[in-house]
Amino acid sequence: MLAAWGGLSACQTGQKKNAETTDSSTAATIAPVQVTVAHSFYKQFKGTLAGQPVTLQLIKYNPGRYEALYVYDKVGEPIGLSFVRETGDSLTLAEYAGIDNENMLSGAFNGVQYRGNWTGNGKTFEFELAENMDSAITFDVHTFEDSAKLLPNKANSPIGRATESMVWPTGGADQATIEFLRTSLYPELKPGDMPVQSIKTAVLAYLESYQDNAKDLDSSDNEFGPGASWNWETNSSASITWNKFPLLAVAKLGYEYSGGAHGNYGTSFEAYDLAAKKKLSVTDVFKPGYKPTLGAALEKSFRKLYKVPATKPLDEAYLFKKHIEPNENFYLTDKGVVFNFLPYEIASYAVGQITLFVPWSDIRAILQDTYLPKP
The 10s digit of each residue's pLDDT in 57-92 is: 999 998 889 999 999 999 999 999 999 999 889 999
* DSSP E strand boundaries for the chain: 41-49, 52-62, 65-72, 79-86, 90-95, 104-109, 113-120, 123-131, 138-149, 159-171, 233-244, 247-257, 264-273, 278-279, 330-332, 336-341, 354-359
- Which of the pair, 30 or 234, is modelled with greater confidence? 234
Walk across the sheet containing 336-341 and list its strands.
330-332, 336-341, 354-359
Q: Is the pLDDT of residue 20 over 80?
A: no
pLDDT of residue 97: 57
Q: Is the pLDDT of residue 296 over 90?
A: yes
pLDDT of residue 264: 94
Q: Is the pLDDT of residue 28 over 70?
A: no
Residue spans of the domains in the chain: they are: 13-131, 140-279, 282-371
**Residues 249/270, Cβ–Cβ less than 8 Å:** yes
Cβ contacts of residue 16 below 8 Å, gap of 6+?
130, 132, 134
pLDDT class of 1 with cuts at 50, 70, 90: very low
pLDDT class of 21 with cuts at 50, 70, 90: very low
Calculate the alpha carbon distances from 36 to 17, 238, 362 in Å. Answer: 22, 24, 45
| Domain range 282-371, CATH architecture | Alpha-Beta Complex (3.90)
**Residues 139/248, Cβ–Cβ less than 8 Å:** no
pLDDT class of 114 with cuts at 50, 70, 90: very high
Provide the whole-model pTM. Answer: 0.85
Nearest-angstrom CA–CA distance, 355 and 343: 11
pLDDT of residue 216: 74
pLDDT of residue 98: 54
Instruction: Report helix, strand or coil for 78.
Output: coil
Nearest-angstrom CA–CA distance, 217 and 215: 6
pLDDT digits (tens, 9 = 90+) for 125-177: 999 999 999 999 999 999 999 999 999 988 889 999 999 999 999 999 999 99
**Residues 330/271, Cβ–Cβ less than 8 Å:** yes
Query: What backbone torsions phi and psi does residue 222 show, to the nearest 5 degrees?
Result: -70, -35
Average pLDDT of the residues in 93-102: 74
Sign, CA dihedral 287-290-296-302, equals positive
Within the chain, residue ranges assigned H as helices are: 16-19, 175-185, 195-212, 219-224, 282-285, 291-306, 360-363
Cβ-based burial of 194 (10 A; exposed 0-12, middle 13-18, buried ≥19): exposed
Nearest-angstrom CA–CA distance, 248 and 228: 41
Count of C-beta atoms within a 10 Å radius of residue 347: 23
Tell me how far the alpha carbon of residue 163 is from its chain's centroid. 16
pLDDT digits (tens, 9 = 90+) for 265-278: 999 999 999 999 99
Nearest-angstrom CA–CA distance, 224 and 209: 22
Average pLDDT of the residues in 95-118: 87
pLDDT of residue 126: 98
pLDDT digits (tens, 9 = 90+) for 172-220: 999 999 999 999 999 989 888 888 899 999 999 999 999 998 887 765 5
Walk across the sheet containing 233-244 and list its strands.
138-149, 159-171, 233-244, 247-257, 264-273, 278-279
Q: What dotted CATH number matches 140-279?
A: 3.30.565.40
pLDDT class of 36 with cuts at 50, 70, 90: low
Query: What backbone torsions phi and psi does residue 197 show, to the nearest 5 degrees?
Result: -65, -35
pLDDT of residue 227: 72
pLDDT digits (tens, 9 = 90+) for 321-375: 999 999 999 999 999 999 999 999 999 999 999 999 999 999 999 999 999 887 6
Nearest-angstrom CA–CA distance, 270 and 173: 18
Q: Which of 336, 356, 333 is nearest to 346 (CA)?
A: 356
pLDDT of residue 37: 58
**Residues 182, 188, 190, 194: what is their CA dihedral angle, to the nearest 10 degrees?**
-70
Q: Which of 95, 92, 99, 61 is nearest to 78 (CA)?
A: 95
As a whole number, the mean pLDDT across the chain is 87
Nearest-angstrom CA–CA distance, 291 and 273: 22
